[in-house]
Amino acid sequence: MRSAGSVLVLTGAGVSAESGIPTFRDALSGLWARYRPEDLATPEAFARQPDLVWRWYQWRRQIVDEAQPNPGHRALAALQRCLGGMMLVTQNVDGLHQRAGSTDVVELHGNLFDDCCSAAGCAQSAPTASLDQESPPPCPRCGAPLRPGVVWFGEPLPEAALERATQAAGSCDLVFSVGTSGLVYPAAELAWIAARSGAAVVEINPEPTPLTAAADFVFSQPGGVALPAILRALGPDPSDGADL
């Protein structure tokens, strides 16, 4: 890390899970126990039952609003401050990296607290609705229902975000894959692009993934354990990691 000219960090749902945010692999509970996340996170589901999908996302927003960045989030923010050439690319939509202090975060799957128009061709964005809003508000431009600004199943990733991430993967010296299963493409391809381009690969994940065998360094731990330890070993300004 000290000698790397550019560092790419890829984060997935495992990082958010350490803050108590359910992943899409977790069974839903309470009022949502009879649904699968896959049945509530598609354009088709929103077209059929916009109020139902909206209420589920409002429930998710409430969970995230009450969550706090964990030691892994804070360690990554501190690492970004002491490594000038570090880019953070996340599959998470909760904004916890930014709340921890990370800057210029590339969000491959959008952000849970952004709203945008559901009508094809409109793409109007709007201020985030209040958490007690029980149905999707109308688009201020065309009147169609607003939807959460996240990537649903069957939708492409934001072109600009994917392009930035892909370019960084092809040119970095070191890549970290943290808390991601390595199963969701095209995001999962980024670590492999970096590896094929000659970057050293570090995987941080409690469970093995398809990337494990190809990684140069493997930490079979949660990010909230491994990342603060790496930060301490790197030895930045002590004030950056004092609360980790």
Number of neighbouring beta carbons within 10 Å of residue 197 = 13
CA pair distance 90, 108, nearest whole angstrom: 6
Is 73 considered catalytic here? no
Catalytic residue among 109, 169, 178, 181: 109
CA–CA gap between residue 123 and residue 231 (Å, rounded): 40
Q: What is the distance between the alpha carbons of residues 201 and 33, in angstroms, rounded to a whole number?
A: 38
* Cβ(227)–Cβ(204) below 8 Å: yes
DSSP 100-160: HT--S-EETTEEEEEEEE-STTT--EEPPPPTT--SPPBPTTT-PBEEEEEPPTT-PPPHH
Contact 232, 210 (CB under 8 A): no
Identity of the amino acid at 49: Q
Residues in the chain: 244
CB contact set of 82 (below 8 Å; sequence gap of 6+):
234, 236, 237, 240
Q: How far is Cα 232 from Cα 68, in angstroms, rounded to an integer?
A: 22
The residues that are catalytic are: 109
